[in-house]
C-alpha cells in the first residue's frame, strides 16, 4: 500500500482530518475511539516535522483537545471557523457567531424534535447528523437549503457522510491550511492533507495548488485528491510508516539538523 502513496519527508507540513480519517466513524460524535498508539504516533510526527502537524476538522478545537488529551496539537476547527496556530496558543475565532446562533434557534424550533436526528451545536457552526434517521436525509437537505435561501446570513451548507454542516461561507478547511502555511513553523514546507469526505475537498484544492499532496480515505472518483487510502486503520498504519521513514532519513543524513 505504501508504495502507491507519496514517500514521507521531514520537509512536510502535515494536515489531518479526524473523523473518518484518523478515527473510525462511530454511531455519534461522542462515541469515537482514539487508539492510545495514535497519540504516540502523532507526537513523534509532530517532533520529526519540527512542529508542522495540525488537525483540520469539523469538530470544535475544544472537542479535539478533549478527544486527544493529553496531546496538544495545532488545530483548525469547525471547517476553518477557528484556528490555533501552535499547540499551546490562543484559539482565534475567525467568524461572527451571530448568524449561526440565529440559525440555531430556527433549527431547534423546527426540527429539534425529529426522531433520530442529532443537532450538534458547536458555537460557530452546526452539524445535523441523521445516521439514525437515514430516511430523513432528503427532507433535511430540502429544509436546510430553504432555510438558507430565506435567510441571507452568509452561511453555507456542507453535505458530509450522513451529516449536514452549516458554516460561514467565508472560511473553509482550505483557508485554514493556507493560514497555517503562512506561519513560521509551516512556511516553506510541502503541504500534505489527508481527508475522507466532501467537506475536505477545499483542503485538497489548497494543498494541490501549493504543490503538495492530497490523500483521500476511500474512493478517488469525483475527488480532487491525488492519492487514495482505504480506511482509517490504513491511515494510522501509514502514519506509523511515516515515523519510521522520516526517523531513518534523519539518522542517515550527515547534516546536523537531519532535515534536507
Q: Which residues are catalytically annotated?
A: 17
- CA dist., res. 26 & res. 44, Å (int): 26
Q: Which residue has the cell 429539534?
A: 112
Closest residue by Cα to residue 158 from 150, 167, 149: 167
User: What is the three-class DSSP state of 164?
Assistant: strand
DSSP per residue, 35-93: -HHHHHHHHHHHHHTTT-EEEE-SS-HHHHHHHHTT---EEEEGGGTEEESSTTSPPEE
The verdict on whether omega for the bond into residue 70 sits within 30 degrees of 0, i.e. cis, is yes
Rounded distance between C-alpha atoms, residue 210 and residue 208, angstroms: 5
The cell 469526505 sits on which residue? 197
* DSSP string across 186-221: TTTSEEEEEE-SGGGHHHHHHHHHTT-EEEEES--T
Which residues face 228 on adjacent strands? 216
Q: CA of 169: how far to CAs of 83, 157, 166, 172, 193, in Å?
A: 16, 8, 9, 7, 21
Distance in angstroms between the alpha carbons of the first and the last residue of the chain: 25
Amino acid at each position: 500500500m505504501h508504495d502507491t502513496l507519496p514517500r514521507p519527508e521531514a520537509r512536510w507540513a502535515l494536515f489531518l482530518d479526524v473523523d473518518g480519517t484518523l478515527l473510525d466513524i462511530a454511531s455519534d460524535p461522542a462515541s469515537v475511539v482514539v487508539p492510545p498508539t495514535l497519540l504516540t504516533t502523532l507526537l513523534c510526527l509532530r517532533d520529526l516535522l519540527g512542529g508542522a502537524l495540525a488537525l483540520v476538522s469539523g469538530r470544535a478545537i475544544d472537542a479535539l483537545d478533549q478527544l486527544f488529551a493529553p496531546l496538544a496539537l495545532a488545530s483548525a476547527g469547525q471547517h476553518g471557523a477557528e484556528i490555533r496556530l501552535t499547540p499551546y496558543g490562543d484559539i482565534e475565532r475567525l467568524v461572527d457567531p451571530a448568524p449561526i446562533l440565529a440559525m440555531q434557534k430556527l433549527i431547534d424550533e423546527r426540527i429539534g424534535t425529529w426522531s433520530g436526528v442529532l443537532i450538534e451545536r458547536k458555537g460557530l457552526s452546526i452539524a445535523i447528523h441523521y445516521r439514525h434517521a437515514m430516511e430523513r436525509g432528503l427532507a433535511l437537505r430540502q429544509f436546510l437549503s430553504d432555510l438558507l435561501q430565506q435567510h441571507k446570513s452568509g452561511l453555507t451548507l456542507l453535505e458530509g457522510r450522513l451529516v449536514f454542516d452549516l458554516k460561514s461561507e467565508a472560511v473553509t478547511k482550505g483557508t485554514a491550511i493556507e493560514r497555517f502555511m503562512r506561519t513560521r513553523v509551516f512556511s516553506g514546507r510541502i503541504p500534505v492533507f489527508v481527508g475522507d469526505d466532501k467537506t475536505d475537498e477545499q483542503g485538497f484544492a489548497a494543498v494541490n495548488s501549493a504543490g503538495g499532496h492530497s490523500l483521500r480515505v476511500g474512493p478517488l472518483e469525483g475527488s480532487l485528491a491525488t492519492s487514495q487510502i482505504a480506511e482509517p486503520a490504513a491511515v494510522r498504519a501509514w502514519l506509523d510508516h511515516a515515523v519510521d521513514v522520516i526517523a531513518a532519513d534523519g539518522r542517515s543524513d550527515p547534516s546536523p539538523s537531519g532535515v534536507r
